[in-house]
Structure 1
């Protein structure tokens, strides 16, 4: 059995222009001081990381690892959530998602997609250079505007959307295979891969690709009202990354899962800091230990109420308390006896 590594923290929600959030060295010092042991790096944030340089230069990757290690930290994964989103964008979202792309490809969906694909491919190479085995990303979405079947969807629409999504991702997954890295899709509303069924639909169309895997985040399943513990039982062999994020769902007589177009603070389903929501983390960490999850427990802080620095400070000890140091022995080994085939046969009446 394996003990989960952690606590770690995703830096995306904390990076900024003011110290200590404006450089890798400074933010690493800050998170180490809070008790974290690992960092998940957003590959799009040039204040922290140069993705193109990392894909080209082993020396640069060694330098990055050295900066992180100087603070007693490890890199858990790189993330291409924003670039992965742009691998597949429905035209309804062109204007909103353009801001995720480099300025020179904005307003040009074809160029933007090509840029995004290259970004994710570079992340596969950079991950290998950094000695990482998993990578966090989004799938993008072509079918999401049609998630609720009214008006009735034309026959084959969803199937065609998933065929196209698989066509775009298969060569990217092949690149991850070449670099020995798992691509872990965060199953997230707004993505075509947002639950178990949609992941299976995609997996079927990429031929069960070994590098098509899952970033497990229970908060998104709370908001969808999906059984997030049963999910681990079903898909544990594909879970390669783990975001530790809390959420709550408190429906009223006025609003439910869809949220009434309200802001996050007013929605029945909203993200919360660790321990402030409804996620059963003791059960989740128990299942992760049961199934030998060998990755990192990574805080992704998103809360509609609490200050981010307070959430970060509380996150490290929260995760540390929940990590189960797995046993090497059965609790009743003291009462065990040596193997005796003849005794076994007598006990069964043979």
Structure 2
């Protein structure tokens, strides 16, 4: 991967070898923190496992190279939790939803990625227990486009860095009388 200049992105996924930050760190220890062992970020998996998907970005943003933009919801009951009692998708406590129909806070995610200078892909991965795939696809691309943040090249308060005109300030304040 190093010779080809390719990052290998592992997806944190429920019930697989890498399913949370602790297992990712164990993996990195075993591969001597190889710089090409990176991450694919999918917040829907965090919702289904009840993990903090925003703090995960804070912790691992330097290794996130891909982003599955996928929504989910988690509605536990007295009968179902994370594992959903092997019910059909429509009946599960945790289920995938079309973008904007679940519980993922995409504004916060895209803000974090903008904050950290994320340069990777934001790819629609559509799965929904309720909505037709054609509707999910038609709505997905504009949803992603509308959440991408064009990061500014300057600070909002740059206007104050123009220097001070002490004489003008004194005149405006009525102190030169």
The TM-score with structure 2 as length reference comes to: 0.90
Map of 1:248 onto structure 2: 73
Question: 1:274-313 alignment to 2 at 5 Å?
Answer: 274-313=99-138
1:105-133 per-position Cα deviation (integer Å, ceiling 9, x unaligned): xxxxxxxxxxxxxxxxxxxxxxxxxxxxx
Secondary structure, counterpart of 2:9 in structure 1: strand
Q: 1:291 deviation in Å?
A: 0.4
Q: Determine helix, strand or coil for the equivalent of 1:270.
A: strand
1:269 and 1:304 map into 2 onto residues whose CA distance is 10
Q: Distance in 2 between matches of 1:225 and 1:190?
A: 13
Match of 2:173? none
Distance 1:203 1:337 in 2: 48
Report the Cα offset of residue 178 of structure 1: 1.7
Task: Name the residue aligned to 1:222.
Answer: 47
Number of aligned residues: 163
Gaps of 5+ in 1: 1-175, 339-350
Q: CA deviation at 1:295?
A: 1.0
Query: Residue 320 of structure 1 corresponds to which residue in structure 2?
Result: 145
Greater percentage in helix = 1
- Residue deviations 1:325-350 (CA, integer Å, cap 9, x gap): 11011111011145xxxxxxxxxxxx
Question: Match of 1:191?
Answer: 16
Counterparts of 1:67-86 in structure 2, within 5 Å, are: none
Q: Tell me by how many angstroms 1:190 deviates.
A: 2.7
What is the aligned-residue RMSD (CA, Å)? 0.8
2:97 maps to what in 1? 272
Deviation per residue, 1:194-242 (Å, 9 max, x gap) = 1111000000000001110100000000000000000000000010000
Residue matched to 2:6: 181
Mapping for residues 127-142 of structure 1, pairs under 5 Å: none
Q: What's the offset of the Cα at 1:191?
A: 1.5
Structure 2: state its 5+ residue gaps. Answer: 164-177
Q: In 1, distance between residues paired with 2:124 and 2:100?
A: 12
> Within 1, Cα distance between the matches of 2:25 and 2:128?
30
Q: Which residue of 1 aligns with 2:168?
A: none
Moved over 2 A (4+): none
**Residue 259 (1) aligns with residue 84 (2):** yes
